[in-house]
Amino acid sequence: MRLYSNAVTGRGRCPATALGSGHPMTQTRWGSTTWGWRMPFLGAAQIVAWGTLYYAITLLSQPIAASLALAQTWVYGAFTLSLFVSGLLAPLAGRLIDAGEGRWVLSGSAVLAALGFAWLGVADDVFDLYGSWTLLGLAMGCGLYDAAFAVLHRGVPQQDYRRAVTLLTLFGGFASTVFWPLTRWLVEEHGWREAAFCFAALQILVCLGSYLIAVPPATKLLIASGAQKAATVGLSERAVRQFVGLATAFALVSFTISVLSAHLVALLGLGGLSAGDAILVGTLFGPMQVVARVIEYGCASNVRPVMVGSVSFALLMLALVALALAHGTLFWPVLFGLLYGAGNGVMTIIRGTVPAELFPHVTGFGQLLGRLAMPSFIAKSAAPFIFALLLDLPAPREVVIGTLLVTMALAWMSYEFARRS
């Protein structure tokens, strides 16, 4: 299968690194023996990036709202804006990475995040709040998994790319484990403004430092510009169907995951669970994500990424079935937590590995990931607000859970359409 009908076939003196392999030919690669030492640096940066940009808002929103005399909805509105902005930026970030500027894209995300948190730390009104989170949204768009996967795809040898993606997500899986207690301690002991300044410092010390150490400077393409141009025209009809199906699947599953993340306590409460028990169920997510990613790493040589993707969608669907059955006992909610954690953990991996399998001849892999990510970020940003309206109606429990089941079913169908086209 070819994404582009005129794709370069890779005949010539460097067939192992030709466009047909999924990587543009470059003067230097990280190499099969040298990419491993870079992963702890990239992993540490992803822990800080996810922990500060995505997870910390859960514990920052209330004190920020109280300090600025705003409803908490306004704070989450700023966070929603940041997710929307990140989706708009993702394709551009991918194009820059394809051009060999991955080091500066990731480094730029750290600088933008540092500026955003510094601005947040001195925020006095709604303008400051939304302005700072706009900067933080730009940082998300060029500094989270999609950008990091594109950098790995360009630098890591093709046979090692899947392992590198899984390793990076194993590191990233500890972001909430580290930053929820850290954020809570900072807010309680020093205040939310000091926490924001601390996050700004971590972006420079950990993220920027790690990217400058681990990601080499830009490399130059060896292929002629005319050949490269020929390789990026003539989008095949089959590839269009696969792209649309995959983008739809990722957007719908992002919507579902965002709803579950934002309204977990409320959704489990509809089944009679107390807030304490709901939080207990939520603590299962992190460990199960790690377990699932370790299993995926062990199966990487025997199971194709598209098959792993089908398993991930199936696990999430079964998790929602367990959520629908949750009423009056802990068995079904705990089963939901186990299945959801495992399915979500693997879902993160397939966002980077399945496109590489379905579109092996694409020259602009970073831009491809960015375009796939854009509808997902937009869906993720809108989901909490849309479902808050549904929960406020108030709608019957069957309607609320049924909506999630239908959304997940459509996501799974879209994915199967993409991989079988």
- Condensed to tens digits (0 to 9), the pLDDT of residues 162-172 reads 889 999 998 98
| Burial readout 179-207 (b: 16 or more C-beta within 10 A, e: otherwise) | bbebbeebbeeeebbebbbbbbebbeebb
Which residues, in sequence order, are bridge partners of residue 235? 4
Nearest to 211 by CA among 152, 167, 266: 152
Confidence of residue 98 (pLDDT cuts 50, 70, 90): confident
At 37 the pLDDT is: 87
Short-list 230, 178, 200, CA closest to 115: 200
- The whole-number average pLDDT for the span 382-397 is 78
In a domain, 227, yes or no: no
Residue 21 placed within a domain:
no
User: What is each CA distance from 128 to 122, 125, 144, 242, in whole angstroms?
Assistant: 8, 5, 23, 41
Q: Tens digits of per-residue pLDDT, 196-239?
A: 999 999 999 999 999 999 988 865 433 333 334 333 334 578 88
Chain segment 26-37, per-residue pLDDT in tens: 434 565 557 788
How many angstroms separate the CA atoms of 16 and 87, rounded? 33
> What angle separates helix 305-325 from helix 331-358, to the nearest 10 degrees?
160
Is the distance from CB of 8 to CB of 230 less than 8 angstroms? Answer: yes
163 with 30: CB under 8 angstroms?
no
Residue 229 in contact with residue 363, Cβ under 8 Å?
Answer: no
Q: What's the average model confidence in pLDDT over 339-356? A: 92
Residue the block writes with tokens 């540490």: 44
Give the range among 109-118, 132-141, 342-351, 375-384 with minimum mean pLDDT. Answer: 375-384
Same domain, 187 and 319: no
Q: What is the rounded average pLDDT of the residues 39-45?
A: 94
Domain boundary among 220, 245, 271: 220
Q: What is the pLDDT of residues 240-274, one digit of tens each?
A: 889 999 999 999 999 999 888 877 878 888 878 88
Give the pLDDT confidence of 299-315 residue by residue, as tens digits: 877 889 999 999 999 99
Q: Give the CATH number of the domain where residue 330 resides.
A: 1.20.1250.20
Per-residue confidence (pLDDT) for residue 29, from 0 to 100: 59
To the question of pTM greater than 0.85 for the whole model, the response is: no
Is the same domain home to 182 and 255?
no
* Amino acid 30: pLDDT: 62
Q: Residue 384: inside a domain, yes or no?
A: yes
Same-domain pairing of 214 and 247: no
Is 192 found in the same domain as 277? no
Mean pLDDT of the region 60-79: 89
158 lies in the same domain as 251: no
43 lies in the same domain as 185: yes
Bond preceding residue 394 cis, omega within 30 of 0: yes
CA 124 to chain centre: 31
Q: Does a structural domain hold residue 13? A: no
In a shared domain, residues 115 and 246: no
Give the model's pLDDT for residue 327.
Answer: 82
**Which one is predicted more confidently, 91 or 217?**
91
Residue 400 forms part of a structural domain: yes
Distance CA 55, CA 78 (A): 14
In a domain, 231, yes or no: no
| Domain total of the chain | 2
Please determine, for residue 20, whether its predicted confidence score (pLDDT) is greater than 50. Answer: no
Assess whether pLDDT exceeds 70 at residue 22. Answer: no
| pLDDT tens-digit readout, 311-341 | 999 999 999 999 999 887 889 999 999 999 9
Count how many residues are written for the chain. Answer: 421
Which of 177, 194, 220 is the last residue before a domain boundary? 220
Residue 16, in any domain of the structure: no
Pick the closest to residue 268 from 318, 211, 329 (CA basis): 329
Q: How far apart are CA 307 and CA 139, in angstroms?
A: 32
Q: Give yes or no for a contact between 270 and 400, defined as CB atoms under 8 angstroms apart.
A: yes
Instruction: Tell me the pLDDT of the chain averaged across its residues.
Output: 83
Burial class (CB in 10 A: 0-12, 13-18, 19+), 388: middle
Does 56 fall in a domain?
yes
164 shares a domain with 40: yes
CB 68, CB 123: distance < 8 Å: yes
Task: Output the pLDDT for position 218.
Answer: 66
Q: Which of 177, 196, 220 is the last residue of a domain?
A: 220
Q: Which of 62-66, 179-183, 192-196, 265-269 has the lowest mean pLDDT?
A: 265-269
pLDDT higher than 60, residue 414: yes
Average pLDDT over residues 401-409: 93
Give CA separation, 293 vs 115, 168, 264, 312, 344, in Å: 33, 10, 23, 11, 10
For residue 111, count CB atoms less than 10 angstroms from its CB and return exposed for 0-12, middle for 13-18, buried for 19 or more.
Answer: middle
Most confident of 42-51, 97-106, 152-161, 379-388: 42-51
Q: Based on the domain organization, do 193 and 50 belong to the same domain?
A: yes
Q: Are residues 166 and 199 both part of a single domain? A: yes
Both 205 and 242 in one domain: the answer is no
What pLDDT does 33 receive? 56
- Residues 207 and 246 occupy one common structural domain: no
Residue ranges making up the domain that contains 411 = 236-420
